[in-house]
């Protein structure tokens, strides 16, 4: 992790008010997400927080939906605007990947509209055969 910050998967450390505010007001993929829905997402996921060592303020968040055996989906990756550009996002994604590595997952997926370079640093690549994947969702 970056000097002055630490990564944790301890759910008791999460600042759920802050995470909900970040995602529901500033993350294009989660704008307007309700608090109850966010709490259900957190409860069903492996959550990662990045915290300032001095003061303990949470400055970043990510969650992973996984079976811990074959598959994971990395989502809701968010870095506070005040610390962007300091390498925290890259360190967060690398920390997530390191945490998942012992599970021997066959595939870790994510979706992004604008951070391809950040994820590429941690080994993510475009899907080699995207025509094999399908999605079902709401507009």
Burial of 125 per CB tally in 10 Å (0-12, 13-18, 19+)? exposed
Q: Are 97 and 123 in contact (CB under 8 A)?
A: yes
Residue 39 has pLDDT above 70, yes or no: yes
Provide the percentage of residues in the chain whose pLDDT is more than 70.
99
Radius of gyration of the chain (CA): 15
Q: What's the whole-number mean pLDDT along residues 113-138?
A: 90
Name the pTM for this structure: 0.93
Of 40-44, 46-50, 73-77, 127-131, the poorest mean pLDDT is in 127-131
- b/e map 77-105, b = 16+ CB within 10 Å: bbbbeebeeebbbbbbbbbbbeebeeeeb
Q: Say yes or no to pLDDT of 2 above 90.
A: no
pLDDT of residue 89: 96
State the average pLDDT over residues 85-97: 96
pLDDT recorded at residue 139: 65
Residue 138 has pLDDT above 90, yes or no: no
Mean pLDDT for 130-134 is 89
Give me the helix-helix angle, 35-43 and 16-26, nearest 10°.
120
């Amino acid at each position: 992790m970056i000097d002055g910050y630490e990564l944790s998967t301890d759910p008791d450390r999460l600042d759920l008010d802050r995470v909900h505010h970040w995602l529901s007001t500033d993350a294009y993929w989660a704008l307007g997400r309700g608090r109850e829905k966010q709490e259900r997402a957190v409860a069903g996921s492996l959550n990662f927080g990045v915290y300032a060592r001095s003061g303990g303020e949470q400055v970043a968040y990510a969650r992973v939906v996984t079976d811990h055996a074959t598959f994971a989906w990395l989502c809701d990756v968010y870095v506070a605007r005040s610390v962007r550009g300091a390498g925290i996002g890259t360190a967060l994604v690398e920390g997530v990947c390191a945490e998942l590595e012992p599970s021997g997952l066959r595939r870790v997926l994510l979706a992004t509209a604008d951070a391809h370079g950040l994820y590429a640093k941690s080994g993510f690549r475009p899907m080699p055969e995207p025509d094999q994947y399908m999605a079902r969702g709401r507009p």
